[in-house]
Structure 1
């Protein structure tokens, strides 16, 4: 039978097949192959009563380390309009990591009650030039939550974002219970707290929701310089028109991506981040 691992505790894996969940052990061969089953894995199991054995792990199309989970299809990337204030570099790192892992991002701007109409309009304009989906939220009052729930169907979704933006409040609003302990943002250091200790998939609205925040590490130094430009989807429709086929959209002449930035078709804040990240990657490669 084929199923999905929804929880793993102390060497036991709980595999959902249809409407039933089987407690399974992994065959010893996985240890020799240096591959351990993790939450989100699609697996083949043999069953005896309510117990089972994992015979095969299907090929993963992506894997996150923190939280440790496989085959994520969608991320709710949460940022607050205030408290903490919007951080452009962190925002773009989340989006680059989503693209690198082939995860569809849905941008969630929370605490919209704290922002002016101009600020909200500016945030929307940035996302619209990229082409990503977005939802404007006031999670505490429930504004925008129904729109998020509709996006769960058919996906394995992780909620991610910097500390204090309301990830736990959003998660609890989606599942309809206090599945994650919400923590107040420390007034002194502006950091949130969460107490979830292991990953689990919660079935919801025809999809699965990961019960721990994603992307706690935002290191993009593993990327190659030539790869980075492919992770900015708004660049793609212009890059084929550049004079040089290997154009990095950096210092090359007759670059259509840079021209699109000048014309406001690509948001300057996104391009500025790209240049900064590219220079960092190039410097790292030079002194490696």
Structure 2
């Protein structure tokens, strides 16, 4: 029987297939090959002595390590401008990870009731995100404001909710589902960041798709990205592809760079470009250290 892993805890996997939910263990060959089943994996299951056994894991379209989930088709990246304050470097790291995994991406700014939408800084951040090619949804999840737009984007997708702790991912998910699926937590007054409220990844069937809530976290590893490919993970760069003097331009120190020209003109966000350069240098340093 073919199915999808919707939950995995302590070596026991819950597989949804043919309308049934089956508890399974994985064959030892996966452990010996150091290949661990993931939530989201499409698998082949057989039933032996009333116990499901995962016999085969089909090739993955993509996979995330933190959170540990595979075959995602889109991401809702949840952030807040206040409580906690937005971390633009972290947001940009999430966006690179989404682009590298070819995910459709929607940026959800939650707790919008805590800020003045006409405030100069708020308008600047929203403009920076939108000018980079991303769609934004403004939310007040506790009041259910803006959630109808998220609902319209869930059908026929496997959607991951990602973002730092305390931004309201679990609240959004619970309000969409209509009941408390994941526990929610408070912001630490001392640390000004959220508690880790979600302890595991779990796919939840919704309409014709699945959604997954994931543990909040404050850092991302994007060291697997090749420095030559990094520029392709910035959508605002792509419209100028082929317009640089050199075809292999990294948009850094090369003369005749169209991207640097557009940054000077203000058509490409200076903050986004500076993050690109910072990441490019980190990748280059890591490459040298591995040699």
Aligned residues: 288
Aligned to 1:252: 254
Contact kept? 2:8, 2:14, Cα under 8 Å: yes
Shift in alpha-carbon separation, 1:14–1:276, aligned structure 2, 3 A: same
CA contact (8 A) 1:239 1:247 kept: no
CA distance in 2 between counterparts of 1:189 and 1:180 reads 23
**Per-residue deviation, 1:70:** 1.4
Structure 2 distance, partners of 1:52, 1:190, is 44
Q: 1:214 to 1:226 in 2, by over 3 A?
A: farther
Question: Counterpart of 1:139?
Answer: 141
Correspondence 1:117-266 to 2 at 5 A: 117-119=117-119, 120-213=122-215, 217-266=219-268
**Which residue in the other structure is 1:37 paired with?**
37
8 Å contact kept, 1:8–1:14 = yes
The RMSD of aligned alpha carbons is: 2.1
Q: CA shift at 1:49, angstroms?
A: 9.1
Instruction: Using the TM superposition, give the Cα deviation of residue 160 of structure 1 relative to its aligned residue in structure 2, in angstroms.
Output: 1.3
User: After superposition, where does 1:42-53 map in structure 2 within 5 Å?
Assistant: 42-47=42-47, 51-53=51-53
Counterpart for residue 9 of structure 2 = 9
Tell me whether 86-95 or 63-72 shows the greater mean CA deviation: 63-72
Q: Secondary structure at the match of 2:8?
A: strand
In 2 relative to 1, CA 197–79 (structure 1 residues): closer, same or farther, beyond 3 Å?
Answer: closer
TM-score, L = length of structure 1: 0.91
SS at match of 1:225: coil
Unaligned runs of 5+ in 1: none
Instruction: Give per-residue Cα distances to partners, 1:147-194, cap 9 Å, x unaligned.
Output: 112211112112111222222221221222222221110111112123
| Ranges in structure 2 where 5+ consecutive residues have no aligned partner | none
Secondary structure at the aligned position of 1:117 is classed as coil
Q: Secondary structure at the match of 1:140?
A: helix
Q: Bigger shift: 96-105 or 140-149?
A: 96-105
Q: 1 CA distance for matches of 2:106 and 2:86?
A: 16
1:3–1:18: 8 Å Cα contact kept in structure 2?
yes
Question: Once the 2 structures are TM-superposed, how far is the Cα of residue 28 of structure 1 from its aligned partner?
Answer: 3.0
Separation in structure 2 between the aligned mates of residue 115 and residue 126 of structure 1, nearest angstrom: 17
Q: Specify whether residues 198 and 287 from structure 1 end up closer, same or farther in structure 2 by C-alpha distance, changes over 3 A only.
A: closer
Give a deviation string over 1:217-236, Cα, whole Å, max 9, x none.
41223322212111111101
Secondary structure, in 3 states, of the residue corresponding to 2:228?
helix
CA contact (8 A) 2:76 2:108 kept: yes
Residues 224-258 of structure 1: CA distance to partner in whole angstroms, max 9, x if unpaired?
22121111111012131111011011111111111
Superposition deviation, residue 51 in structure 1: 4.5
**Partner of 1:88 in structure 2?**
88
Distance 2:134 2:50 in 1: 43
Deviates more, 1:217-226 or 1:143-152: 217-226
Q: Any idea what SS the aligned residue of 1:5 has? A: strand
Change in 2 beyond 3 A, CA 1:184/1:287: same
Q: Check whether the contact 2:7–2:14 (CA below 8 A) recurs between aligned residues.
A: yes
Choose 124-133 or 44-53, whichever is displaced more. Answer: 44-53
Matched residue, 2:19: 19
Please give the alpha-carbon distance, in whole angstroms, between the structure 1 residues aligned to 2:105 and 2:220.
15
